Copies of this chain bind each other. A is one copy, B any other.
């Protein structure tokens, strides 16, 4: 069917979409979500159809992505025909029916994801089915490999390449900012990529950005690592596993994360890692609730590592409260910098040297934790962090007090004498976000009391920082409503711990807490 292409001059968020009027769609014999093949001169593009009432008849609307593919710069006649759906849809349907997918079938799905041949409807059904049915290790391996294959890779031409990752979920977890320089200071290579916050008040990339630029390209990373042994960059623009970035866009509104293992491990593989330590924060308020679940997940990570030719060990860490005292990009960068200079909270320091120690022992060092501690004490880790900051384009002489913290401040006091019995990770994250994090770099909070601390009535237990007074007010309001720090005079008065079904039972395949 010959139609006039109308250039909409709008992007469809990367998707290949075309618009047809009701009547034209019907005479072409196609419905919304069907594919059409658009032929223009010697080029052709397949687009997913959106049928609209009242679109100009005998014309087809093309979003920028599609018109670019056709090399079209002015409105012109095109030939449009119904196209068959990609084969990968039959594999998505098979997964909905709980069939196991083979390697070539998974490759077909991932390739179509990356080439934007699948609609949001199809991607959402695929991820929902994966979440509900779970994945076999063969499927996880095939997904990881397909995600690496369809993306870019970094090859530094040397071995070993060390790496560290956390499955996340703990506010204030700035461990990587210490682990990377510790490892690099010992002399090992650790090209660390991190994500920005999606639902949390700060991702490691957001934290590091308070110290130096993090938006480096793959080619820009190379000289940094060659010079310093390490880097601390944002992974999002590196195209390391582009399928994962597209999956995350679908998982985000649903708050599900069925691709946890392939998502993490494909990016480690793409960066060339040979030895990976994986942090699994565990406990109430963490993504993983029990040691049993943590052990099962760790076994899967280790198995997947073997299948991908990577040596993986896991650290199961205490995850029932935020790490350190600071939550929010600049506040956390400040705390990390203080800690590497010898003045930070004990838990941040302890977690960093424990995980760095595992990594060092994985590559043959004895007493890894002791070596890591020595890197801190001697100032070598601090010196290395400053080298990395310098190489990435930041100020190597930055002092903790140089980092701009929100000028709007408020405090929350304990409303009775007592013992801090719990701290809600979820509520702490909510309050920090209400204060403006991660967008407002200086926004966030400082915990002035942690689990097990005894506090007096009227004592400050939480400081809130914001860049705007309205945000400070609403964060303070939220803090007073949520009471993220739980106090009790007598724990023995609280023998009833949970009333079921008030509290949901968490399964191994968890749902992200937003």
Whether A124 contacts B120 by the Cβ 8 Å rule is yes
Whether B10 contacts A97 by the Cβ 8 Å rule is no
Whether A98 contacts B132 by the Cβ 8 Å rule is yes
Which among B55, B132, B133, B253 is the interface contact of A122 at CB below 8 angstroms? Answer: B253
Closest B residue, CB atoms, query A50: B13
Whether A254 contacts B511 by the Cβ 8 Å rule is no
Can you list, as one digit per residue, whether each of A8-47 has a CB less than 8 Å from chain B (1) or not (0)?
Answer: 1011110000010000001101011110000000000000
Query: Is A407 at the interface (CB under 8 A from chain B)?
Result: no
Q: Name 17 interchain pairs, CB-CB below 8 A, sorted by A.
A: A11-B52, A13-B32, A26-B439, A32-B252, A85-B253, A93-B255, A93-B256, A93-B511, A97-B504, A97-B511, A119-B120, A120-B120, A121-B124, A121-B253, A122-B124, A124-B124, A125-B128
Whether A124 contacts B128 by the Cβ 8 Å rule is yes
Closest B residue, CB atoms, query A507: B97
Query: Is A131 at the interface (CB under 8 A from chain B)?
Result: yes
Query: Is A250 at the interface (CB under 8 A from chain B)?
Result: yes
Query: Is A385 at the interface (CB under 8 A from chain B)?
Result: no
Would you call the interface of chain A mostly helix, strand, loop, or mixed?
A: mixed
Q: How far is the CA of A119 from the CA of B120 in the complex (A)?
A: 9
Contact partners of A198 in chain B: CB under 8 A: 31
Contact partners of A122 in chain B: CB under 8 A: 124, 253-254
Copies in the complex: 2
Contact partners of A127 in chain B: CB under 8 A: 125
Query: Is A502 at the interface (CB under 8 A from chain B)?
Result: no
Q: Which positions in A face B, CB cutoff 8 Å?
A: 8, 10-13, 19, 26-27, 29, 31-34, 50-55, 61, 64, 85, 89, 92-93, 96-98, 119-125, 127-129, 131-133, 198, 249-250, 252-256, 439, 504, 507, 511
Closest B residue, CB atoms, query A90: B255
Closest B residue, CB atoms, query A126: B128
Which among B51, B121, B132, B255 is the interface contact of A133 at CB below 8 angstroms? Answer: B132
Q: How far is the CA of A92 from the CA of B32 in the complex (A)?
A: 23
Closest B residue, CB atoms, query A19: B10
- On whether A125 and B10 interact (CB within 8 A), knowing A96-B132, A132-B132, the answer reads no
Closest B residue, CB atoms, query A438: B29
Q: How far is the CA of A32 from the CA of B120 in the complex (A)?
A: 12
Q: How far is the CA of A64 from the CA of B439 in the complex (A)?
A: 31
Contact partners of A125 in chain B: CB under 8 A: 124-125, 127-128, 254, 256
